[in-house]
Amino acid sequence: MKAVYISEPGGPEVLEVREVEAPVPGNGEVLIDVVAAGLNRADVQQRRGSYPPPPGASDIPGLEVSGRIAGFGPGVTKAFSLGDKVVALLAGGGYAQQVAVRAEQVLRVPDGVDLVTAAALPEVAATVYSNLVMTAQLQEGETVLIHGATGGIGTMAIQLAKALGARVATTAGSDEKVSTAKAFLGADIAINYAEEDFPESLRRQNGGKGADVILDVVGAKYLKQNVDALADYGRLVVIGLQGGTKGELDLGQLLQKRAAVVATALRPRPVEEKGAIMNAVREAVWPLVSDGRVRPLVAKTFPLDQVRAAHRYFDTGDHVGKILLLM
């Protein structure tokens, strides 16, 4: 089969399409003929050498795919049939024509979604639902602040939070993206972080109140402002480190607000946790996708042999929604 490997840390030019042995499904695993794979920030970090795969995971990048069930390893108890249309959450291996993955991390494609577009769903749906709902306990009527409005995480988080009845604020880096977040994605408040202080702007547009929940992909660079932007009893959930790993935390301000800071990562979680998250996604998110309240958004697709072009496009930050590789 064809698969993408990273020859050395660097830019998109280090991505190489190679002919390799197809995977053999192990105990509890299903084999998937991949139709499409989603690009994620973690793939870029892995390419640059700053986010190696967890122990035991494939060196091939790619954390989510859509495709068809092609085979079974021993001990698979989940009720799948050959040819079933599915999506899978992976620890690696998605940029390939086939992948073997534990059955717990596989779901049937939700009703009303075509098989290519479905590749835009598993990683972002699992990340957003596990953090906004399972970790932060976002409630109807609360205000949530979502950074990175037009990326894969942002577009899913805005839609899901709105569907759950939250008031949604978001940040973006241009007036065009701010307009997209409000007019296209449905955000109640959208702030251009390049021109405004987002904690101040949030309070001004939210009746003087901060955010009950913040979903942050930036990390250290935003730590001080995020704590400032929290409401009393607010929950800051850090899921990305685009802005660095070390920042100064004002514990006095955190204590005064009775607030919490939590950091989570999906990729290194054990199979049992990923399975629980995927079950929750099937029960809570798939119905929202099927009835159209949450839409998987695809910015652009690239064939596998144009993986370098796909990463170059990702690196521009110009996309709204997910970038997909087609096998």
Interacting residues of 2 by C-beta distance below 8 A, sequence separation 6+: 17, 18, 19, 20, 96, 97, 304, 305, 327
Q: How many CA atoms lie within 13 A of 259 on its CB side?
A: 25
Q: What is the pLDDT of residues 41-51, one digit of tens each?
A: 999 999 999 99
% residues pLDDT > 70 (the chain): 100
Query: Is residue 7 scored above 90 in pLDDT?
Result: yes
- 133: DSSP letter: I
Question: Taking all residues of the chain, what is their mean pLDDT, rounded to a whole number?
Answer: 96
Q: Which own/partner contact pairs does 175-179 have at CB distance under 8 Å and 24+ positions apart?
A: 177/149, 177/150, 177/320, 178/149
Which residues is 20 bridged to in the sheet? none
Q: What is the pLDDT of residues 231-259, one digit of tens each?
A: 999 999 999 988 888 999 999 999 999 99
For residue 210, give the nearest of 235, 242, 192 by alpha carbon: 235
- How far is the C-alpha of 101 from the C-alpha of 86, rounded, in Å? 12
Confidence (pLDDT) at 88: 98
Q: What is the pLDDT of residues 95-132, one digit of tens each?
A: 999 999 999 999 999 999 999 999 999 999 999 999 99
- How far is the C-alpha of 275 from the C-alpha of 122, rounded, in Å? 12
Query: Is residue 77 scored above 90 in pLDDT?
Result: no
- 135: DSSP letter: I
What H or E segment, with its residue span, contains residue 321? Answer: none
Summarize the chain as % helix, strand, coil (round to 5).
35, 25, 40
Return the structure tokens found at 320: 């709204």
Please, are residues 149 and 67 in contact by the beta-carbon 8 Å criterion?
A: no
Region 23-51 average pLDDT: 97
pLDDT band at residue 75, thresholds of 50, 70 and 90? very high
- How far is the C-alpha of 262 from the C-alpha of 239, rounded, in Å? 9
What does the angle CA 233 – CA 279 – CA 265 come to, to the nearest 5 degrees? 50
Query: Is residue 78 scored above 90 in pLDDT?
Result: no
- How far is the C-alpha of 280 from the C-alpha of 269, rounded, in Å? 15
- How far is the C-alpha of 60 from the C-alpha of 5, rounded, in Å? 5
Q: Which residue has the higher pLDDT, 318 or 161?
A: 161
Query: Is residue 34 scored above 90 in pLDDT?
Result: yes
Which amino acid would we find at residue 105? Q
Confidence (pLDDT) at 4: 98
Region 260-280 average pLDDT: 96
Q: What is the pLDDT of residues 136-190, one digit of tens each?
A: 999 999 999 999 999 999 999 999 999 999 999 999 999 999 999 999 999 999 9
- How far is the C-alpha of 18 from the C-alpha of 131, rounded, in Å? 36
